[in-house]
């Protein structure tokens, strides 16, 4: 009986001992935040002057330096809502696929709390943004606290706590350091860009530390109340889930013959480029009197003569499906989900190489062919690249074809045909919109098909993206079990 009591007390004693320092730190951060909030709310003169002097100093340091501003904006975007919401959402989906619903609930609660705290406190304090001599960028809403500082601290901190167990022990401290540096740089960019005072960023960090500490403590308390060991926070929230949340098991070689595969891809790239160059030069400068010349003359004119306001707006939206942002967004959603389901890097490598190869082939061939746009009104205005081949169309074909190849071989469910249909519908829609808008000739479309067909075929032969399926790899969750995820999430919510 004594042994049982001792065993019961030991987790409680370990939990209390480990948590006291953390609770004091969280409470201290909360007190400092409260003091800072009051000083800002009542416009304490020393803080007011220090904030404005710092804003002016940073503005004089950064204003007029284009490359520096570009770098600052890129770092700042890593703390913006679109990036953070994408990261947390993809992580939640991946955790649900891996049946780690408790961790998914933790990320949802922590992330939603951060989203609520930012605008509510901004409205409460009502502090205006800095006014500097040379405005660099602008941001909507009030200034205190910094949403980027708060959101990045909460989101990256929560993701770190969840995924620490998936890392090897020697990589955990470097990972913590990287996250700390990233959060610091995001806050610094908000000051340097002139959209926040120093006290705004400090308040965001303090509030983020408080909220992250509260949610982490609540999760650890939940573990203790259910008789689970409570490890040091440096080991993550749920160490026993380490193997399940690893992106993929360690593989000796991502490709069976890495060196020869690289050589094959390089040689193949050169051959594809040569084919594009030959076809592009022919249709651009040597096809007079041929069917290609007639097609390139009559089709743009036919579209231009049938333009209406409704069709022009529709073509604008269809065209956007093939631009860089849309292609990148779809890739950044598809690849993590594939990785979570099938636990293999090779399909992800296939998609990445498909997009990287398409981009490099498009830029190289457009540069050497230098074909002018069709001789009709170009609705998108002056473009930085030439007409042949169409980058929008080629990117759309490569992306959706790569996704269809991966999904079709990995499931026998009816919805795999949706990917096949999208691999046809999306390129046709984008191609039609680009020609309607006067941005491409029909032979530019043909060039995009040539680029995509050759490059995807080469990648399929070299990378073999579905090799693990033939070797018996099974997904982390079968397609008919998807409905179970809702049940697990609801159960985890009740337990918490």
Does residue 55 belong to any structural domain of this protein? yes
pLDDT for position 316: 92
**One domain for residues 160 and 264:** no
pLDDT for position 317: 92
Neighbours of 6 (CB within 10 A): 10
Distance between CA 415 and CA 408 in Å, rounded?
9
Does residue 131 belong to any structural domain of this protein? yes
Q: Taking 50 as the threshold, does the pLDDT of residue 103 lie above it?
A: yes
Chain segment 421-463, per-residue pLDDT in tens: 999 999 999 999 999 999 999 999 999 999 999 999 999 999 9
**One domain for residues 164 and 54:** yes
Report the 3 state secondary structure along the chain.
CHHHHHHHHHHHHHHHHHHHHHHHHHHHHHHHHHHHHHHHHCCCHHHHHHHHHHHHHHHHHHCCCHHHHHHHHHHHHCCCHHHHHHHHHHHHHHHHHCCCHHHHHHHHHHHHHHHHHHHHHHHHHCCCCCCCCCCCCCCCCCCCCCHHHHHHHHHHHHHHHHHHHHCCHHHHHHHHHHHHHHHHHHHHHHHHCCCCCHHHHHHHHHHHHHHHHHHHHHHHHHHHHCCCCCCCHHHCCCHHHHHHHCCCCCCCCCCCCHHHHHHHHHHHHHHHHHHHHHHHHHHHHCCCCCHHHHHHHHHHHHHHCCCCHHHHHHHHHHHHCCCHHHHHHHHHHHHHHHHHHHCCCHHHHHHHHHHHHHHHHHHHHHHHHCCCCCCCCCCCCCCCCCCCCCHHHHHHHHHHHHHHHHHHHHCCCCCHHHHHHHHHHHHHHHHHHHHHCCCCCHHHHHHHHHHHHHHHHHHHHHHCCCHHHHCCCCCCCCHHHCCHHHHHHHHHHHHC
- The candidate with the shortest Cα–Cα distance to 374, out of 285, 305, 287, 435, is 435
Total domains present in the chain: 2
Does residue 492 belong to any structural domain of this protein? no
Q: Taking 70 as the threshold, does the pLDDT of residue 475 lie above it?
A: no
**Structural domain ending residue among the three candidates 211, 245, 279:** 245
**One domain for residues 274 and 232:** no
**One domain for residues 214 and 291:** no
pLDDT band at 496 (very low <50, low <70, confident <90, very high): very low
Residue/partner pairs of 107-112 with CB below 8 Å, 24 or more apart: 107/158, 107/159, 107/162, 109/215, 109/496, 110/154, 110/158, 110/211, 110/212, 110/215, 111/84, 111/85, 111/154, 111/155, 111/158
**One domain for residues 236 and 302:** no
Distance between CA 130 and CA 57 in Å, rounded?
12
**One domain for residues 321 and 235:** no
| pTM exceeding the 0.95 threshold for the entire prediction | no
The mean pLDDT of 295-300, rounded to a whole number, is 91
**One domain for residues 339 and 220:** no
**One domain for residues 309 and 209:** no
**One domain for residues 237 and 263:** no
Residues of the domain holding 456: 258-481
**Structural domain ending residue among the three candidates 210, 245, 280:** 245
**One domain for residues 213 and 313:** no
Does residue 414 belong to any structural domain of this protein? yes
Does residue 392 belong to any structural domain of this protein? yes
Chain segment 13-32, per-residue pLDDT in tens: 444 444 555 566 667 777 87
**Structural domain ending residue among the three candidates 207, 224, 245:** 245
Q: Taking 70 as the threshold, does the pLDDT of residue 236 lie above it?
A: yes
**One domain for residues 192 and 55:** yes
**One domain for residues 29 and 143:** yes
Does residue 488 belong to any structural domain of this protein? no
């Amino acid at each position: 009986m004594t042994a049982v009591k001792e065993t019961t007390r030991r987790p409680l004693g370990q939990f209390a001992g480990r948590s006291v320092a953390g609770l004091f730190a969280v409470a201290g951060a909360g007190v400092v935040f409260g003091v800072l909030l009051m000083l800002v709310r009542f416009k304490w003169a020393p803080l007011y002057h220090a904030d404005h002097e710092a804003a002016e100093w940073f503005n004089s340091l950064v204003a007029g330096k284009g490359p520096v501003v570009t770098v600052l904006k890129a770092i700042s975007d890593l703390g913006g809502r679109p990036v953070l919401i994408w990261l947390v959402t993809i992580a939640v989906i991946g955790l649900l696929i891996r049946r780690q619903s408790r961790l998914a609930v933790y990320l949802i609660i922590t992330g939603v709390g951060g989203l609520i705290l930012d605008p509510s406190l901004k409205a409460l304090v009502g502090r205006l943004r800095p006014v500097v001599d040379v405005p660099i960028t602008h941001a909507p809403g009030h200034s205190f606290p910094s949403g980027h500082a708060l959101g990045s601290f909460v989101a990256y901190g929560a993701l770190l706590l969840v995924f620490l167990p998936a890392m090897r022990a020697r990589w955990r401290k470097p990972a913590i350091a990287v996250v700390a540096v990233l959060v610091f740089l995001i806050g610094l960019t908000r000051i340097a860009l002139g959209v926040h005072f120093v006290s705004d960023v400090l308040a965001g960090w303090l509030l983020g530390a408080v909220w992250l500490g509260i949610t982490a403590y609540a999760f650890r308390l939940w573990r203790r109340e259910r008789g689970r060991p409570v490890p040091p926070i440096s080991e993550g929230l749920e160490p026993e889930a380490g193997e399940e949340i690893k992106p993929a098991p360690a593989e000796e070689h991502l490709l069976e013959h890495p060196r020869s595969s690289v050589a094959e891809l390089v040689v193949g790239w050169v051959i594809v480029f040569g084919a594009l160059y030959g076809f592009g030069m022919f249709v651009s400068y040597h096809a007079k009197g041929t069917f290609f010349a007639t097609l390139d003359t009559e089709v743009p004119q036919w579209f231009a003569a049938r333009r209406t306001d409704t069709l022009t707006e529709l073509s604008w939206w269809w065209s956007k499906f093939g631009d860089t942002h849309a292609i990148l967004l779809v890739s950044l959603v598809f690849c993590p989900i594939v990785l979570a389901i099938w636990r293999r890097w090779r399909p992800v490598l296939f998609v990445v190489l498909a997009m990287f190869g398409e981009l490099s082939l498009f830029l190289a061939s457009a540069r050497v062919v230098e074909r002018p746009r069709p001789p009709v009104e170009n609705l998108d205005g002056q473009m930085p690249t030439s007409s042949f081949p169409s980058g929008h169309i080629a990117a759309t074909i490569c992306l959706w074809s790569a996704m269809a190849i991966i999904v079709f071989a990995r499931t026998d469910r009816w919805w795999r045909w949706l990917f096949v249909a999208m691999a046809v519908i999306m390129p046709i829609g984008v191609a039609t919109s680009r020609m309607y808008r006067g941005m491409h000739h029909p032979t530019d479309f043909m060039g995009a098909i040539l680029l995509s067909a050759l490059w995807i075929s080469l990648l399929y032969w070299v990378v073999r993206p579905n090799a693990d399926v033939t070797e018996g790899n099974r997904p982390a969750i079968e397609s008919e079990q998807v409905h179970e995820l809702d049940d697990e999430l609801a159960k985890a919510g009740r337990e918490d």
